[in-house]
Amino acid sequence: MAEASQCGDDQHDWSVWGPTAAGTEALGRICFRCGKFQRSDLADAATNVPGEGIASYRGFVGPQERYDIVSAMTFNLLTTLGLRQHHRVLDIGCGSLRNGRLLVPYLNAGNYVGFEPNRWLVEAGIRHEMGKDLVDIKKPKFVHSTSPTDLDASLRFDYAFAQAIFIHSPLDLVRAWITRAAQVLESNGVLLASFHVGEEDYTGDGWVYPGHVYFRLDTMQREATNAGFRFQTLSWRHPSGLAWAVFSQRDFDTSWFADGEVTWNKKVDIDPSYRSWPVGRPWI
Ligand SMILES: C[S@@+](CC[C@H](N)C(=O)[O-])C[C@H]1O[C@@H](n2cnc3c(N)ncnc32)[C@H](O)[C@@H]1O
């Protein structure tokens, strides 16, 4: 991460002002280059100067006190849904490697691709969460862009996930990511996405950060169907109250969680490759 001192007052690369949280009028923005943030509700009334601080590489992607919980949630979901070491994974908006720091050691070398516009976040994640040795051993790849079309369409993945990406995305970006995922996933592949379910669709333009946006469940389902995916919500708790959904390609097996309940035990029972004891012999 660039140090704050590297950005002079007129050199910041500011995000647009966006709502900071549901139910508050406060606006916030962040410098993508140095991590400095400003919040309108912390403004000094006399000078009207926004309150500001330096966002850490952890704080930039969500509440710092639950950085570990989000890592665990995502890794456990992916592995419960069948992620194995030989699979190839696309981490859409990988941020500071909150999820990558568990996935990269787990996967075989070369099988992790992180897509992230903010290069400094990935660099900070490597420096503080992963280490250069692991990068040398497991050879994760990174793509730095905002546009899904910059992800090489000839790449092939078994799993893709977008954790806390569609809560900041306008509908055209959601659609672009779902479309790209459908193009790069194998016929037995799957996209997992977390998002906010609301009664109305967000209709604005552009990336909203650090504020959140909401979409109707019908809208997500329609976008999935239009891209050729099947769609299934999951009862997999998210610490920030987001919903999780599976966008599955034709041959990905969803039969064992038609009710949305995914558990490790169900997966082991349904998949003989997950166990050594014979079919039909009950576990203790
Ligand atoms: C809330 S953070 C989530 C990061 C990560 N998925 C996680 O769970 O830790 C959102 C991330 O999306 C990235 N982002 C911004 N624009 C994006 C785009 N057009 N496509 C994908 N990711 C984007 C941000 O830089 C940020 O790292």
Label residue 250 exposed, middle or buried (CB < 10 Å: 0-12, 13-18, 19+): exposed
From atom 10 of ligand 1, which residue's Cα is the shortest distance away? Answer: 165
What residue spans define the domains of the chain?
4-55, 64-273
| Beta-carbon count within 10 A of 254 CB | 15
Q: CA 53 to CA 36: how far, in whole Å?
A: 6
Between the CA of 164 and the centroid of ligand 1 the distance, in Å, is: 7
- Indicate whether 182 pLDDT > 80: yes
Is 64-273 CATH 1.10.10.10? no
Give tens-digit pLDDT for 85-94. Answer: 999 999 999 9
For ligand 1, whether the C-beta of 117 sits within 6 Å is yes
Q: Is the dihedral of CA 36, 14, 64, 110 positive or negative?
A: negative
From atom 14 of ligand 1, which residue's Cα is the shortest distance away? Answer: 93
Token duo for residue 125: 């994640």
Q: DSSP secondary-structure letter at 51?
A: E
Q: CA 221 to CA 231: how far, in whole Å?
A: 6
- Counting ligand 1 atoms within 8 A of each CB, the residue from 61, 92, 115, 208 with the most, and so the one to mutate, is 61
Closest CA to 54 of 36, 39, 75, 71: 36
The pLDDT-based confidence of 278 (bands split at 50, 70, 90) is confident
- Indicate whether 47 pLDDT > 50: no
- Counting ligand 1 atoms within 8 A of each CB, the residue from 68, 77, 116 with the most, and so the one to mutate, is 116
pLDDT of residue 175: 98
Pick 53 or 194 by higher pLDDT. Answer: 194
pLDDT of residue 152: 97
pLDDT of residue 21: 54
Pick 175 or 210 by higher pLDDT. Answer: 175
Give tens-digit pLDDT for 87-118. Answer: 999 999 999 999 999 999 999 999 999 999 98
28: which residues sit within 8 A by CB, 6+ positions away?
Answer: 17, 18, 19, 20, 37, 38, 39, 40, 210, 211
What is the average per-residue pLDDT within 23-49?
Answer: 66
Q: CA 61 to CA 141: how far, in whole Å?
A: 20
Q: CA 70 to CA 90: how far, in whole Å?
A: 17
Q: CA 271 to CA 89: how far, in whole Å?
A: 20
Question: What angle, 0 to 180 degrees and rounded to 10, lies between the N-to-C axes of helices 171-184 and 217-226?
Answer: 40
From atom 27 of ligand 1, which residue's Cα is the shortest distance away? Answer: 95
Label residue 97 exposed, middle or buried (CB < 10 Å: 0-12, 13-18, 19+): buried
pLDDT of residue 80: 98
From atom 13 of ligand 1, which residue's Cα is the shortest distance away? Answer: 93
| Beta-carbon count within 10 A of 149 CB | 11
Mean pLDDT of the chain: 89
- Indicate whether 70 pLDDT > 80: yes
Q: CA 61 to CA 162: how far, in whole Å?
A: 13
**DSSP alpha helix (H) spans, 60-170:** 67-80, 100-106, 119-125, 132-138
